[in-house]
Structure 1
Amino acid sequence: MRIIRIAFVAMCLSGLVGFSTPNRLDPSEVLREAERDHDEGRYPEALEKHIWFFDNALKYESSLYGVRLSFALGDWVLLAKKYPPALEALEEKASEAESKVRSGVEPYKSFNDFKSIYEDIGREEKVVSLFSWLDKEEPDLARKVYRLARKSLVKEERYKLCNGYIDPDKEFQAYLSNFRDLQARESKEVVPGRVKEFRYNYFSYHSSLLVALLAKNGRYSEANAISEMAMKEWNDEAFRVKLENARKGIMPAPW
């Protein structure tokens, strides 16, 4: 049975299985059809369209970059929970991305594909393994993809591996700029409550994570400095407690 599944996945990946849609060149329509196929139990057809979307969407609409690695990939992972060939196909795509990273072919994009797949299927140790290789063999590239890998590094408690890539001033200024930009938008227009919630959650989580990582690596003076600047920007009791915990090396809950 596994041999049959592998053969089917190989046909999908090589484009040997065909499908028709109302508009073949509309990636969004292909994705919608994949979702309908999934909902109606046509799992092989859904898988085929997910593979097509993953491989081809950006050729037609570069604006789908975020959708490709969020909603579309998430739907594929849900399919994989019901249909084993879909998981095998995901792992094959991750393997292809890893090979590209190691050979320097679109390394940033390929690493993002690799980490997105393995984070979504709960295999963060794979991301850590590839980042560890980059740390030793391609440190310049490791620095470029560190922010992509950080979630997995933190989940796997590889705090020391993070240390060489933490730039506290640059990182905090980015979080601060985002916080202030959204605040300025709120002063000019009525925004949904979820936008305000995002602004506070984003700033709270990333600032406290930065402080905790610095503390974990013994960089206490930098941790204290970032914590004090964050509190000056947003004087909130719950945020203060989170920062105090972070200064003790306690990681914030994932957000």
Structure 2
Amino acid sequence: MYFTMAISISEKNHFMNDHNQHAKQVLDKAREAHAAKEYETSLASYEWFFEHALDEDKGSLYGVRLSYCLFGWVELGQEYEPARIRLEQKFEHSILALEQSRNPEYFHDYASIGACLGQQEAVLDKFIAYHHADPRLAREIVHFIWDELLASPHMLVCATYIDNAPALYDGKLEKHDETMKIFASRPELATDDFMQGMRDRFIQEVSNIIKVLQASGRTEEAGAVSARAKADLEKRNYIHSLPA
């Protein structure tokens, strides 16, 4: 039984690797076709990648799908209007799919496409509408628009989604430490600038939590998180300037 299961897992991993390799080739084809001004082929390839890159593996191409794929698609749309139209249609379809399925990932698609199309304000307005009319759904998708909320006039809305500030901080610290450990084991990726960027990003996330708590009158919680964070950052020899 164990041997049979091991073979099955091995075969599945092999199939997933084959699928990922094929997906990467399709994305490369999209770029190459664009460069060759084969616009229709390029659009078809970008659209296939966006729709199928995660069919067998939800993790390894997740970020590529919402970054390089969309960046390339937008660039294609600047030269080939049907590509821009299709991406705008995908933008609208994503929010309809969210409302029909209530799968939070569709909002991530919506927010990512919106950012590429310069529609960040529309995305923010859509979230605020859910915040008021559908709080349960808003809670499921808020992390996809957290940074945008913090930088907007709606910053205090973030406080609604901080139920347990120490637990939120602990979760971010644990995730940060795990990520730093992974990249530290990959010296070809862990450049000084990259690792400093990771540290700066974590410090900014913690600062934002403290600022939201302070702005919403939760000063005791803000002080507790600040004290814990300062101790943890000093233990890791991070230079910081957290809110007082």
* TM-score, structure 1 as length reference: 0.75
RMSD value, Cα? 2.6
Q: Deviations over 1:36-61 (max 9, x none)?
A: 11223333321221112112222254
Q: Which amino acid aligns with 1:169?
A: P
CA contact (8 A) 1:124 1:156 kept: no
Q: 1:154 to 1:121 in 2, by over 3 A?
A: farther
Pairs within 5 Å for 1:53-202:
53-62=49-58, 63-103=60-100, 105-167=101-163, 168-182=165-179, 189=185, 191=187, 192-194=190-192, 196-202=195-201
1:51 aligned partner? 47
Q: 1:223 to 1:59 in 2, by over 3 A?
A: same
Where 1:41 maps in the other structure, the secondary structure is coil
Q: 1:115 to 1:180 in 2, by over 3 A?
A: same
Deviation at 1:64, TM superposition (A): 2.3
- Separation of aligned partners in 2, 1:169 and 1:138: 26
- Separation of aligned partners in 2, 1:115 and 1:108: 11
Q: Deviations over 1:126-181 (max 9, x none)?
A: 22222122222321221111111212223333112222112422321122112333
Deviation at 1:185, TM superposition (A): 5.6
Identical positions, percent = 27
Q: Which amino acid aligns with 2:162?
A: I
2:3 aligned partner? none
CA contact (8 A) 1:98 1:114 kept: yes
Q: 1:46 to 1:142 in 2, by over 3 A?
A: same
Deviation at 1:98, TM superposition (A): 0.8
- Which is worse superposed, 194-203 or 137-146? 194-203
2:30 aligned partner? 34
Deviation at 1:239, TM superposition (A): 1.2
- Separation of aligned partners in 1, 2:87 and 2:78: 11
CA contact (8 A) 1:94 1:117 kept: yes
Where 2:55 maps in the other structure, the secondary structure is helix
- Separation of aligned partners in 1, 2:132 and 2:117: 26
Q: 1:196 to 1:152 in 2, by over 3 A?
A: closer
CA contact (8 A) 1:27 1:60 kept: no
Deviation at 1:101, TM superposition (A): 1.7
Q: 1:197 to 1:109 in 2, by over 3 A?
A: same
Q: 1:222 to 1:91 in 2, by over 3 A?
A: same
Deviation at 1:234, TM superposition (A): 1.3
**Structure 1, unaligned runs of 5 or more:** 1-22, 248-255
